[in-house]
């Protein structure tokens, strides 16, 4: 019997040679960075997949019902995740009823104290049941948005 200091050769199920499980120098930092980045990306995907359903809207002195044509509408946030942070790239409004055709829709992003963070440009609604509204610069952090106000009008805002 012969004693050696060399580790036993590892073979996989199909007979392929596997590398030694010894960690390489500096891989712990890369693993942590990869884990943090993956977690941030997963959070962005979860937030991007969420929808806000808006059955009513508040007008300072009380709650008024939205017009029937946007009552069942849902607003999805399209988020951009980068090394600088997460920002709102666009809003996708879907399930708009045909009765809204020819009217204008304006969306206001609301902050924690019911202040308007940004009013997005009004858009003429057409025969499509969905609308994509691109958020113009400067970028908006989704954590600062606590609500939405939707307005529909026969004329541009």
Summarize pLDDT for 66-106 with one digit per residue, the tens. Answer: 778 888 889 999 999 988 899 999 999 999 999 889 999 99
Q: Helix or strand or coil: residue 63?
A: strand
Q: What is the pLDDT of residue 5?
A: 53
Question: b vs e for 105-116, b when ≥16 Cβ sit within 10 Å of the residue's Cβ?
Answer: bbbbbbeeeeee
In a domain, 58, yes or no: yes
pLDDT tens digit sequence for 1-25: 555 555 555 555 555 555 555 555 5
Is residue 98 domain-resident?
yes
The CA angle 39-40-44, to the nearest 5 degrees, is 115
Cβ–Cβ under 8 Å, residues 134 and 39:
no
Separation between Cα atoms, residue 140 and residue 67, nearest integer Å: 28
1 inside domain: no
Tally the domains of the chain.
1
Structural domain of 120: 51-153
> CA torsion 71→91→110→106, rounded to 10°?
-60
Within-domain flag for 148: yes
Split at pLDDT 50, 70, 90, the class of 46 is very low
**CATH code for the domain of 100:** 2.60.40
Distance CA 72, CA 99 (A): 12
Confidence of residue 151 (pLDDT cuts 50, 70, 90): confident
Does the residue 84 lie in any domain? yes
Per the listing, tokens 């049941």 go with: 129
The answer to whether residue 10 is domain-embedded is no
Residue 100 lies in a domain: yes
HSE (side-chain half, CA atoms, 13 Å) at 82: 7
- Mapping DSSP to helix (H, G, I), strand (E, B) and coil, where does residue 47 land? helix
């Amino acid at each position: 019997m012969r004693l050696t200091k060399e580790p036993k050769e590892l073979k996989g199920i199909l007979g392929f040679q596997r590398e030694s499980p010894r960690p390489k120098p500096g891989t712990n930092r890369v693993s942590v960075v990869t884990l943090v980045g993956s977690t941030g990306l997963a959070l962005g995907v979860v937030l991007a997949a969420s929808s806000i359903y808006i059955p009513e809207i508040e007008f300072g002195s009380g709650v008024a019902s939205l017009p029937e044509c946007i009552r069942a509408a849902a607003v999805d946030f399209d988020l951009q995740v980068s090394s600088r942070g997460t920002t709102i790239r666009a809003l996708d409004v879907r399930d708009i009823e045909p009765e809204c055709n020819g009217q204008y829709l304006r969306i206001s992003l609301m902050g924690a104290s019911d202040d308007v963070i940004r009013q997005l440009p009004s858009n003429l609604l057409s025969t499509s049941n969905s609308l994509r509204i691109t958020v113009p610069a400067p970028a908006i952090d989704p954590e600062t948005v606590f609500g939405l106000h939707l307005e529909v009008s026969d004329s541009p805002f």
